[in-house]
Chain A
Amino acid sequence: MSAETLQVLADVGKGKSTRGVLRVIILALIAGASIASRLFSVILDPWFNFRATKYLVANGFYNFWDWFDDRTWHPLGRVTGGTLYPGLMVTSGAIWHALRALTIPVDIRNVCVLLAPAFSGLTAIAAYLLTNEMTTYNSAGLLAALFMGIAPGYISRSVAGSYDNEAIAIFLLVFTFYLWIKALKQGSMLWGALCALFYGYMVASWGGYAFITCLLPLHAFVLILMGRYSTRLYVSYTTWYALGTLASMQIPFVGFLPVKTSEHMPALGIFGFLQLLAFLDYVRSAIPSRQFQTFLWLFAGGIFVLSLAALVIATSAGVIAPWSGRFYSLWDTGYAKIHIPIIASVSEHQPTAWPAFFFDLNLLIFVFPVGVYLCFQELADEHVFIIVYAVFGSYFAGVMVRLMLTLTPVVCVAGAIAISTILNNYLVAKTPTEEDQQAAEAAEKKGTKSGLKSATKPVVGIYSLWSKSLMVASMAVYLLIFVMHCTWVTSNAYSSPSVVLASRMPDGSQHIIDDYREAYQWLRQNTKEDAKIMSWWDYGYQIGGMADRPTLVDNNTWNNTHIATVGKAMSSREEVSYPIMRQHEVDYVLVVFGGLLGYSGDDINKFLWMVRIAEGIWPDEVSERAFFTPRGEYRVDGEATETMKNSLMYKMSYYNFNNLTLEEAFTSENWIIRIYKVKDLDNVGRDHISAAAFEKGLKKKKATKKRGPRVLRVD
Chain B
Amino acid sequence: MAPKRNNANRGVSPNPKTAATSASATSSSAVPLPPNPNPSAPIASRPSSSHSASSSHPKTSASAPVSQTWDKVVSNLTSHYQKSTPQRTKLLDAFMAFLVVVGVLQFVYCVLAGNYPFNAFLSGFGATVGQFVLTASLRIQTTEANKKDFPAVSPERAFADYVVCSLILHFFCVNFIN
Partner-B contacts on A (CB < 8 A): 186-190, 192-193, 196-197, 230-232, 234-235, 238-239, 241-243, 245-247, 249-250, 256, 259, 275, 278, 283, 285-295, 297-298, 301-302, 304-305
Contacts and interface: CB of A to CB of B under 8 A. Distances in A.
The 10 A-B pairs with the shortest beta carbon distances in the complex, nearest first, are: A301-B52, A242-B130, A302-B55, A238-B133, A189-B161, A297-B49, A246-B172, A286-B80, A235-B137, A190-B161
B55 A186 contact: no
Given A187-B149, A234-B140, A294-B41, A301 B48 contact: yes
Interface in B130-162: 130, 133-134, 136-138, 140-141, 145-146, 149-150, 152-153, 157-158, 160-162
Given A188-B153, A298-B45, A301-B49, 15 more contacts: A186-B152, A187-B152, A189-B141, A230-B149, A239-B133, A250-B172, A259-B122, A283-B77, A286-B84, A287-B80, A288-B33, A290-B29, A291-B73, A297-B45, A301-B55
B165 A190 contact: yes
A246 B48 contact: no
Nearest to B170: A246
Question: Chain A's interface: helix, strand, loop or mixed, by majority?
Answer: helix
A288 B169 CA distance: 38
A239 B165 contact: yes
Contacts of A301: 48-49, 52, 55
A246 B76 contact: no
Contact of A238 (B122, B137, B162): B137
A164 B168 CA distance: 29
B169 A297 contact: no
- Most chain B CB inside 10 Å of its own CB: which residue of A186, A193, A250: A193
Given A243-B169, A246-B173, A287-B73, A193 B66 contact: no
Contacts of A249: 122, 172, 176
A305 B54 contact: yes
Nearest to A300: B52
15 contacts: A188-B150, A188-B157, A189-B162, A190-B165, A232-B150, A235-B141, A243-B169, A246-B123, A247-B172, A249-B172, A278-B140, A286-B81, A290-B36, A297-B49, A305-B52
Interface of B: 26, 29-30, 33, 35-36, 41-42, 45-46, 48-49, 52-55, 59, 66, 69-70, 72-73, 76-77, 80-81, 84, 118, 122-123, 126, 129-130, 133-134, 136-138, 140-141, 145-146, 149-150, 152-153, 157-158, 160-162, 164-165, 168-169, 172-173, 175-176
Given A190-B161, A250-B172, A235 B55 contact: no
Contact of B126 (A246, A286, A288, A297): A246
B130 A246 contact: yes
B176 A246 contact: yes
A278 B143 CA distance: 13
A239 B73 contact: no
Given A189-B162, A190-B164, A256-B122, A287 B130 contact: no
A243 B167 CA distance: 10
Contact of B134 (A189, A230, A247): A189
A302 B70 CA distance: 14
A125 to B, nearest CB: 22
Nearest to A289: B29
- Most chain B CB inside 10 Å of its own CB: which residue of A196, A235, A288, A304: A235
A305 B149 CA distance: 32
Contacts of B33: 288, 290
A256 B118 contact: yes
A51 B109 CA distance: 45
